Amino acid sequence: MSYPKSLLILLVLAGLAVAQTPRSPGRVVGAGYSIPAPLKVAPGQVITVFVHSPNGIQPAQAVSADAIPLPFSISGFSVKLEQTIGSTNVEVPLFAVYPVDECVGLNPSVCTDLTAITLQIPWEVTANRSRGGRPDNFAALKVFFQGTPGDAYPIQPESDSIHIINTCDSTMPPGFDRNSELVSGGCRSLVTHLDGRLVTPANPASAGETLVMYAFGLGPTGSAVRSGDTARSPIGLTDIALQFSPGVNLEPVRPTALPPPAGNAPVPVFAGLIPSQVGLYQVTFSVPALAAGSQACTASTIRSNFTVSIGRFESFDGAGICIQP
């Protein structure tokens, strides 16, 4: 079949227009001086993922799970764990789904609709050891909306990825209202007195007192716990290292001191998974006395005068607290 010359010219021009149509380069996924690394997570860890939500799929309001075991779908959103070793296409338990507007302070401001999904990494994830070289298990979380999959988000499973909970985290566990009288006063590590009140400069700890630190990501417990469910009773961990560092506004460090009888490192009163909360760990410890002449915390410059660090196989974290001199 032959075509008129004018039609052929139009077809060629149309093809060139399609070939030369500019395309969006997509969203920036990281910045700095290295390739963005996958998020380190541990089996059973609680995190929040933030999903670009075009075309009106962003939920109008927050919806939380209303029962335990946690559901696998909320407001049409679901998540699956994919991995190269172990069970794949594992359904991921969800705590909550809620809308977030990511805004940049430009004039006019630029806002992107995001959906936040707070979830628990399934206990079935196969952990790597970071000092073992290239990871053996390549894993990712894939978010679905009404059964339609989005892009996979890479994660790096490790035996532990400790995170001391902060009162400004998106993953504050149920029962800890960041606006309550017990947990108030800006962003602070979730370390409390036994009555549940937050340790602050205005409400410091006393020597000999027992405090409770809350964390995610301490990793496997050695006992069977179903993903999305609570432990039936407290499950203690015997290999959590603890280190105390007196001083003003100190950062956490990896614990190096040996526990008794080989050394004099402090030993937690309890460290492990607690019942009634999914994926939530407690580290309970006794407060030592500060040396004579130690500075007290202030409302502005001295945020802490004592730092408690905890560690396990692959990770460490900690919290600065205030002790009354």
Domains recognised in the chain with CATH numbers: 39-157 (2.60.40), 162-325 (no CATH)
Statement: the pTM of the whole predicted model exceeds 0.85: yes
Higher pLDDT, 21 or 271: 271
Statement: residue 108 has pLDDT above 70? no
**Distance from C-alpha of 188 to C-alpha of 200, rounded to nearest angstrom:** 8
Burial (0-12, 13-18, 19+ Cβ within 10 Å), 2: exposed
Write out pLDDT tens, residues 293-317.
999 999 889 999 999 999 999 999 9
Cβ pair 318, 308 in contact under 8 A: yes
Retrieve residue 310's tokens. 């905890």
Average pLDDT over every residue of 267-282: 95
Confidence at 187, pLDDT banded by 50, 70, 90: confident
Quote the tokens at residue 202.
């205005």
Q: What is the pLDDT of residue 249?
A: 97
Residues 8-34 as b/e (b if ≥16 CB within 10 A, e otherwise) read eeeeeeeeeeeeeeeeeeeeeeeeeee
Cβ atoms of residues 290 and 325 within 8 Å? yes
The mean of the pLDDT values for the chain is 87
- The percentage of the chain sitting over the pLDDT mark of 70, rounded to a whole number, equals 83
10 falls in which pLDDT band (50, 70, 90)? very low
For the segment 21-48, the average pLDDT, to the nearest whole number, is 82
Q: Is the pLDDT confidence value at 238 over 70?
A: yes
In this predicted structure, what is the pLDDT of residue 7?
45
- Please state, in angstroms and rounded to a whole number, the distance separating the CA atoms of residues 262 and 265: 9
d(CA 318, CA 268): 13
Query: What is the pLDDT at residue 173?
Result: 66
